[in-house]
Amino acid sequence: MRRGVRPNSFGIAVAVSDDSGPFSEPTMQWLWNFGEWCRNVWVAVSTLISGMWVTMRTMLVTYRRKTFTEVFEYPEVPVPVKARYRGFHRFDLTTCIGCEKCAVACPVDCIYIEKEKSPVGKGFRVNGFTIDYTKCMFCALCVEPCPVDCIFMGSNHDLSCFSRDGCIVDYAKLPLEVAWGQATLNPTAVAESKVLYEPVWVKGESSPFQFAPKDE
């Protein structure tokens, strides 16, 4: 009868024999498998307890603080953003000269400009200045080359709509306050611009705004 020593899953040396006694080969195989099962159970339970401890510790630290959220009365009160925030564009139709430098600089070709020779004076008449916000990535590369600073990034971040057509904005047909850069872009203004076929204002025409006289 041959005898030997084999370590189990816990590193304890166990005698092994070839007979049918308590240390036979089937018995040792069963002990080996049982030790592996116990080790796997221990690893699973210890890992679960460790993860739950991290979760509980983070939760206690979080709820121990006095204030961890901010409440904004949106949309009645606009959400404050950083000074360099890149929101939806602000465009001034009165200063645009139709040079198309912004459209050329756009890396995704989302700016489309329609223009014709101005009937009054020199330059061009901008009939359409469309930005497709389904393609725009707000990189602000269209702002830098503008020679008259008629386009820049605004602070508005909401342009909710029910179709992709609402994301295609023609700034030349927006309400005057928005087209002239005096108000931010909003879904209502975009919806109103969809029913217009002509620009809201062209250079050379009388101003549609009624300016109050200056106090002397």
Using the predicted structure, report yes or no on whether residue 190 has a pLDDT greater than 90.
no
Tens of pLDDT along 74-129?
667 777 788 888 888 888 888 888 899 999 999 999 999 988 887 777 778 888 89
Domain boundaries, the chain: 3-51, 89-193
Least confident of 3-12, 65-74, 81-90, 183-192: 3-12
What pLDDT is attached to residue 214?
47
Between residues 17 and 177, the one the model is more confident about = 177
Tens of pLDDT along 172-187?
888 877 766 567 777 7
Q: Is pTM, for the whole model, over 0.75?
A: no
Between residues 128 and 213, the one the model is more confident about = 128
CA distance 89 to 139: 11
Tens of pLDDT along 31-42?
888 889 999 999
At which residue do the structure tokens 């005096």 appear? 182
185 within 8 A of 169, measured Cβ to Cβ? yes
CA distance 207 to 29: 96
**Between vectors from CA 150 to CA 98 and to CA 118, what angle results, nearest 5°?**
30
Q: Class for domain 89-193, per CATH?
A: alpha beta
The candidate with the shortest Cα–Cα distance to 195, out of 179, 171, 180, 173, is: 173
Region 192-204: mean pLDDT is 66
